[in-house]
C-alpha cells in the first residue's frame, strides 16, 4: 500500500490579504488530506511487483515518488509500471527503461546513488524519445552534430565529434536521453555546451510535447494527474 496523502489536522490560519487586495480574517481550518507529493495519485499505483521483481520497501517508494514529483510537466509520461529489481544485466546500471512496454526498473545501486533525479529523468527521456516525429529526429540529429556521408552508394552516419556523455555515440536515443538529463541538471551548462540542441529543446520539441499533452487533457477520462494548462516550465 502506497502512502499517497497525509492528514493535515485542524489548525488556526492567521488573517491575511489576498493578491487581489481582499482581506481574510483568521479562522480555524478543519482536517483535510493533502497529496504527499505532486501527482502521487498517478505515480503511486504504478509502483508494482511481478515475478522478476522484489517487493518495494516503504522508504524506496517514498524516494521514487518524491523524485518523480520533481520531474517537469513534459516528463509526466504515460508509464504502465515501475518495478524494483536487484540488478541489471548491464553492470553498473542503476535503472532501465523498457520503451515497448513503457516500464521502468530501479536496481539496488539506484538507492545508494546521489543522482536519483538525473537517473529518473534519463530513463523517462528514453520513453519520451519514442514521441519524436521524423521531423523532430532530423532536427535533433542536426542540432546535436550527427553527420551523414555517402561512400560507394552506402550511407554512413557518424556521431557528434563533441558529445555530452561518452555513450552518446551509441545511438540517437542514448544521445537524446543524455542531452535531456544534462539539460535538466543545469540549463546554463547545457546551453554553453551546445546552443543548437538547447534551442531545439526550448523553442521546439518541448513546446510541441507540452501542448500535445494539454490538447489531450479534454479527451482523458481522469486527467487530474496531468499539469494545469498554464505556466509551462521548461
The mean pLDDT value for 182-186 works out to 93
User: What pLDDT digit, counting tens, does each position of 58-111 carry?
Assistant: 899 989 998 998 888 788 778 899 999 999 999 999 999 999 999 999 999 999
Domain with 145, as residue range(s), is 132-209
Entry pTM: 0.75
Instruction: Tell me how many domains the chain contains.
Output: 2
Residue 98 pairs with which residues in a beta bridge?
Answer: 103
137 lies in the same domain as 202: yes
Q: Assign 122 a pLDDT band (cuts: 50, 70, 90).
A: very high
Residue that has been written with the C-alpha cell 519514442 in this structure: 130
Residue 229 lies in a domain: no
- What mean pLDDT value characterizes the chain? 82
- pLDDT at residue 160 is higher than 60: yes
Among 119, 149, 179, residue at a domain's last position:
119
Residue 1 lies in a domain: no
Question: By C-alpha distance, which of 124, 128, 102, 141 is closest to 209?
Answer: 128
Lowest mean pLDDT among 12-21, 50-59, 155-164: 12-21
Residue 8 lies in a domain: no
44 lies in the same domain as 95: yes
Residue 220 lies in a domain: no
Residue 23 lies in a domain: no
Residue 149 lies in a domain: yes
User: What pLDDT digit, counting tens, does each position of 4-48 carry?
Assistant: 444 445 657 677 777 778 887 876 665 434 455 567 778 888 999
* Distance from C-alpha of 185 to C-alpha of 37, rounded to nearest angstrom: 20
- pLDDT at residue 184 is higher than 80: yes
Alpha-carbon separation of residue 205 from 129, 172, 213 (angstroms) = 11, 15, 12
105 lies in the same domain as 140: no
Residue 13 lies in a domain: no
Residue 79 lies in a domain: yes
Amino acid at each position: 500500500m502506497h502512502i499517497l496523502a497525509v492528514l493535515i489536522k485542524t489548525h488556526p490560519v492567521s488573517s491575511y490579504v489576498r493578491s487581489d487586495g481582499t482581506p481574510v480574517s483568521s479562522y480555524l481550518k478543519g482536517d483535510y488530506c493533502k497529496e504527499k507529493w505532486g501527482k502521487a495519485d498517478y505515480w503511486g499505483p504504478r509502483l508494482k511487483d511481478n515475478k522478476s521483481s522484489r517487493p518495494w520497501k516503504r522508504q524506496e517508494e517514498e524516494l521514487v515518488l518524491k523524485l518523480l514529483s520533481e520531474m517537469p510537466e513534459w516528463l509526466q509520461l504515460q508509464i504502465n509500471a515501475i518495478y524494483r529489481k536487484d540488478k541489471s544485466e548491464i553492470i553498473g546500471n542503476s535503472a532501465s527503461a523498457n520503451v515497448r512496454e513503457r516500464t521502468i526498473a530501479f536496481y539496488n545501486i539506484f538507492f545508494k546513488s546521489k543522482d536519483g533525479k538525473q537517473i529518473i529523468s534519463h530513463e523517462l527521456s528514453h520513453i519520451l524519445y519514442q514521441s519524436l516525429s521524423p521531423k523532430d529526429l532530423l532536427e535533433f540529429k542536426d542540432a546535436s552534430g550527427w553527420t551523414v556521408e555517402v561512400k560507394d552508394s552506402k550511407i554512413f552516419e557518424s556521431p557528434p565529434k563533441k558529445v555530452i556523455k561518452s555513450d552518446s555515440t551509441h545511438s540517437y536515443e542514448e544521445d537524446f536521453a543524455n542531452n535531456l538529463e544534462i539539460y535538466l541538471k543545469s540549463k546554463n551548462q547545457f546551453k554553453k555546451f551546445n546552443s543548437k540542441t538547447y534551442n531545439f529543446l526550448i523553442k521546439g520539441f518541448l513546446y510541441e510535447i507540452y501542448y500535445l499533452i494539454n490538447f489531450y487533457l479534454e479527451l482523458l477520462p481522469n486527467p487530474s494527474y496531468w499539469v494545469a494548462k498554464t505556466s509551462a516550465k521548461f
